[in-house]
Structure 1
Amino acid sequence: MASPAKETTDSNVVDINRPSARARVQAFGGFLTNMVLPNIGAFIAWGLLTALFIPTGWIPNEQLAQIVDPAIKFLLPLLLAITGGRMVGGQRGAVMGAIGAIGLIVGSDIPMFLGAMVIGPLGGLIIKKFDRLVENRIPAGFEMIVNNFSLGILGFLLMIVSFFFIGPVIESANNFVTSAIEALVATGLLPLLSLINEPAKVLFLNNVIDQGIYYPLGMQAAAETGKSIYFTVASNPGPGLGLLLAFTFFGKKTARRTAPGAIIIHFFGGIHELYFPYVLMKPLTIIGMIAGGATGIGVFSLFDAGLVAGPSPGSIFAYLGLTPKGSFIGIIAGVLAAAAVTFLITSLILKMEKNKDEEEDELSDSIEKSKAMKQQGKQVANSSKKDENIDKVSFACDAGAGSSALGATTFRKKLQKRGVDGIEVKHYRIEDAPQDSNIIVVHKDLYDRAKHAHQDKEIITIENYISDPNLDELLDRLENR
């Protein structure tokens, strides 16, 4: 069940078997992320190859530059298709995804990243459905021949369909999106993308727009020019830095106390999810985020700056490491300008709300303490036996590699500091959290998705990965077992 401290907050969830539209989109973004994330190293390797050895690179080398084109056309799309197929249909799904992807690749004139992210899971789904259909119907001794020929025949058909039909459709859709964004570039309106990017990011849809849209477009552009601004339009760490600096100087209580630590993890560690709760806590600050994001894009455009690959995580170190020759001034200026604009606007918003916040803080604190005391009284009788059996706490997030990793590491250290042992604390993608987890910890905006995936588990929702009252309460529970 849901954490008692959050029963009222989550009471508007009418049917846990029907996740909200936002939860479904978040799950889709998580799926895309888990297709891309394991292959980020290959994307970075290609980016470094491009930055170093193409004619405009740091150390041009005609022989090594020959690797650039085959890598982006064959290696990277195949990796995406294989990973997507494996996620849906296991190893047989991975093979189906690769077979289908080669039809797309050969039948198109552009790098088929979007196509690979479609055909891979589709191939996995086809073979998975077939295997279920023939399960327990194969005569003894014929398993291998059925498995091999079914994979070969279905893969062959998918490859042909991909070559003649799926590839052209995806290429047309890709060209349409590319033309629309290029029109924004040509008219100088590219900064308007921040009107979409920033609100989507704080709703944990950052992976949908980055991995699903901007990264594939960026790879296509980088293949032609050696860099792309598309890698920067949603991943700029500057706006988040400006926001957290404003909370450091003008925030209240917990927000002000935790913001400096969040700056280090966000700006240098690249975990952008860490600043999302601050925006959700003060929704008006989204204005500063949009303005900062737009400013950053404008400066990048002005300097014709770009990156050679997608920065993952979105750390300033990743930004500088993937900056090609001639773009350092533009990239640094874009990050700093975005941070400065966001800081100024957010500071103004926080200062305007200062008096109101001071009047309401004491009352809000009293109400929260009263609620907590009341809930603790209800929990004492019911939780003691249950708490004795807790041996696995799973932190979960959209991709299972950013904020959840931070939360799990921090929580594990706090347990060790209190002398609590015998509890496994790990991080996962929401849907991948083990079924033997006693407690699953997620951000409150991911509750619907977590509850849909783990209906019989206790889910504790938090707002801050560094310091959160619900995590403190959980620590007390585990210490007092």
Structure 2
Amino acid sequence: MKEKVQKFGRTLSAMVMPNIAVFIAWGLIASFFIANGWFPNKTLAALVEPMNKFLLPILIAYTGGHNVYGQRGGIVGAIMAIGVLVGAPIPMFIGAMIAGPLGAYLMKKVDGVLKDHTPQGFEMLVNNFSAGILGFILAIIGCLAINPACIALNDVLYSGVHFFVKHGLLPLLSIIVEPAKVLFLNNAINHGIFSPIGIQEAAATGKSIFYLIESNPGPGLGILLAYCFFGKGSSKASAPGAAIIHFFGGIHEIYFPYILMNPLLLIAAIAGGATGILINTIFNSGLVSAASPGSIIAILGMCSSDSYLGVIISVVAATAVSFFVGSFILKISKSEDEDLEEAKERMESMKNKPEEKVAYNQLRKIVFACDAGMGSSAMGATILTKKLKAAGIDVDVPHYAINDIPQDTEVVVTHQSLVERVNNLLPNVVVFPITNFMGGSEYDEIVEKLK
């Protein structure tokens, strides 16, 4: 069940994350030039609505289609998306997320049918016209069917959102969000759920609190600081470095293993998250666009001009609450707290056993994989590359999203909670599970294997 949820979330986030730069550009234009921005400018503010209503959704649809069926899938998905977007009173991000993959899937099926019936020399003609005719049909379907359905769905979602806002229940979202983040659903939650809602709210009001619900670094920072003072062994030693990377680098995945070592710390994360949301609700704080990665630098960069005080207080308060709750939990459960080294030994059984099949002295590539293939895997690949170079070993360490791992890969490094997904995709690959992205003996073990 967890893997199915992760797969669905991964599909959503894979459409948004490659386009984060566009969201940032749109957010900066909005924060600078709209009526209540830093430097109001009516001419430049005219860029905001077309980007929000057309550019962003079409890019999302194209990316979603491309993920399903390459360039042809992306093109047909974008054509279908424009049918969904035209005439909609609101930005149609949900519609774009449906149209992109759906259009690509149908294009893939049509190509499969036509492949064996295309005369030699007519391939280009058939390819171009099949995509054009299918796009023509899907644009009409998108306009007449998906558009009204998505508007109705959006109304239902907004009714639920406004119910939470009206009754002051937004902090309760932390009960769902924080545990889901630890299951590596953070990107899916932020970019698949809260970003579409936030974009629509920001378009109407100039800012949105929904950009801050998942991305607030306070809860994770508080837990890492608690480990700095009350952890033990390698978990305590690695926590300060993890805290710096989490807070300034925005890689939230780095604190998930610390919670997995002591699941009671979810209480601290939930308490910190709820506190941050409550403060932002009281101060009416919000960001103008998605802050990705969830670094304090990115958050302040996307902050609306009237929200700096509330956002800063929310981060500090969330950090303080999660720190105090986390410290209490670590102190009362210290005898049962599992050291990172002990966790590593416990999960040896999770490793693939066909390691003997790999000729380590001939290995030229080790893939570092994570859910999105960006934050934690990029950091882990950098750390492992440095250790390999220090040992005089010439092995390339690229980083990928799990779904994008090349088929010829022999060895993969990933977090222990993601091992099952790697095994399902590549049953014969050797997997080195790690408990801590910061490294330590787990990385050294890989280096020793290659010597």
TM-score by length of 2: 0.95
With 460-469 and 282-291 compared, the bigger mean Cα shift is at 460-469
SS at match of 1:392: coil
CA distance in 2 between counterparts of 1:31 and 1:476 reads: 36
Residue 457 (1) aligns with residue 437 (2): no
2:409 maps to which residue? 437
2:96 maps to which residue? 116
- Off by >6 Å, runs of 4+ in structure 1: none
Out of 247, 252, 257, which is 2:232 matched to? 252
CA distance in 2 between counterparts of 1:57 and 1:272 reads: 29
Out of 361, 365, 378, which is 1:392 matched to? 365
Letter in 2 for 1:454: L
Out of 332, 335, 349, which is 1:352 matched to? 332
Out of 361, 367, 380, which is 1:407 matched to? 380
CA distance in 1 between counterparts of 2:335 and 2:21 reads: 49
Q: CA deviation at 1:468?
A: 4.7
Q: CA deviation at 1:32?
A: 2.1
2:444 maps to which residue? 472
1:281 maps to which residue? 261
Residue 93 (1) aligns with residue 65 (2): no
CA distance in 1 between counterparts of 2:118 and 2:336 reads: 71
Q: CA deviation at 1:382?
A: 7.5
CA distance in 2 between counterparts of 1:145 and 1:30 reads: 35
Query: Are the equivalent residues in 2 in contact too, given 1:57–1:324 (CA < 8 A)?
Result: yes
Letter in 2 for 1:160: I
Query: Are the equivalent residues in 1 in contact too, given 2:233–2:339 (CA < 8 A)?
Result: no
CA distance in 2 between counterparts of 1:405 and 1:75 reads: 28
CA distance in 2 between counterparts of 1:365 and 1:417 reads: 26
Which residues of structure 2 form unaligned runs of 5+?
none
2:137 maps to which residue? 157
Q: CA RMSD in A?
A: 2.3
2:420 maps to which residue? 448
Query: Are the equivalent residues in 1 in contact too, given 2:235–2:339 (CA < 8 A)?
Result: no
Q: Which has the higher contact order (CA 8 A, sep 6+)?
A: 1
Q: How does 1:43-54 map to 2 (within 5 A)?
A: 43-54=23-34
CA distance in 2 between counterparts of 1:284 and 1:382 reads: 34
Out of 35, 40, 46, which is 1:66 matched to? 46
CA distance in 2 between counterparts of 1:150 and 1:58 reads: 49
CA distance in 1 between counterparts of 2:35 and 2:442 reads: 55
Q: 1:209 to 1:382 in 2, by over 3 A?
A: closer
With 112-121 and 134-143 compared, the bigger mean Cα shift is at 134-143
Residue 76 (1) aligns with residue 75 (2): no
SS at match of 2:90: coil
Which deviations, in whole Å up to 9, do the C-alpha atoms of 1:317-338 show, x marking residues without a partner? 0000001111100000001100
Letter in 2 for 1:460: F
Query: Are the equivalent residues in 1 in contact too, given 2:31–2:288 (CA < 8 A)?
Result: yes
2:160 maps to which residue? 180
Letter in 2 for 1:456: N
Query: Are the equivalent residues in 2 in contact too, given 1:391–1:438 (CA < 8 A)?
Result: no
1:271 maps to which residue? 251
Q: CA deviation at 1:31?
A: 2.4
CA distance in 2 between counterparts of 1:466 and 1:57 reads: 39
Query: Are the equivalent residues in 2 in contact too, given 1:296–1:338 (CA < 8 A)?
Result: yes
SS at match of 1:305: coil
Q: How many residue pairs end up in the alignment?
A: 450
CA distance in 2 between counterparts of 1:70 and 1:386 reads: 55
Q: CA deviation at 1:181?
A: 1.3
Query: Are the equivalent residues in 1 in contact too, given 2:368–2:381 (CA < 8 A)?
Result: yes
Q: CA deviation at 1:456?
A: 1.6
SS at match of 1:111: coil
Letter in 2 for 1:233: I
Q: 1:368 to 1:226 in 2, by over 3 A?
A: closer
Q: CA deviation at 1:100?
A: 0.5
Percent identity over the alignment is 51
Query: Are the equivalent residues in 1 in contact too, given 2:380–2:439 (CA < 8 A)?
Result: no
Out of 276, 280, 295, which is 1:296 matched to? 276
SS at match of 2:117: coil
Q: CA deviation at 1:136?
A: 3.0
CA distance in 2 between counterparts of 1:168 and 1:367 reads: 52
SS at match of 2:368: strand
Q: 1:60 to 1:462 in 2, by over 3 A?
A: same
Letter in 2 for 1:190: L
Q: CA deviation at 1:388?
A: 2.1
Which deviations, in whole Å up to 9, do the C-alpha atoms of 1:356-403 show, x marking residues without a partner? 44xx879x959949x98x99xxx9x97397222221100111100011
Query: Are the equivalent residues in 1 in contact too, given 2:272–2:320 (CA < 8 A)?
Result: yes
TM-score by length of 1: 0.90
Which deviations, in whole Å up to 9, do the C-alpha atoms of 1:100-150 show, x marking residues without a partner? 011111132110111111110111111111111211320012212211111
Which residues of structure 1 form unaligned runs of 5+?
1-20
